Amino acid sequence: MNAWLMGADVLLFTLVPCGIAVFRGNAIERLVALEMAGIVQTILLVFLAEAFHRPSTYDLALAMALLTFGGGLVFARFLERWL
């Protein structure tokens, strides 16, 4: 086990507070937790790509970053109807 895999393990535990905020928070807290979880998952994919020496997985992390940002914008657009 190398340092990248240990870092990925630590990042997995940081998704727990995001999940709690998504299920228990109000609408704004859910949006923030969604964006935070997307950032953590993107960094997690980068760590795993470096740990397993697979450069093609960096493309997946880049796509995840772009889709997370776009998904947050769509969620915010639908959220503005109720605020």
Residue 22 neighbours by CB under 8 Å, 6+ apart = 30, 33, 34, 37
Least confident of 25-29, 61-65, 79-83: 79-83
pLDDT of residue 83: 65
Span 64-75, pLDDT tens digits = 989 988 888 888
pTM for the predicted model, two decimal places:
0.84
Name the residue among 63, 69, 50 with its Cα closest to residue 6: 50
pLDDT of residue 79: 80
For the chain, give every domain's residue range: 3-79
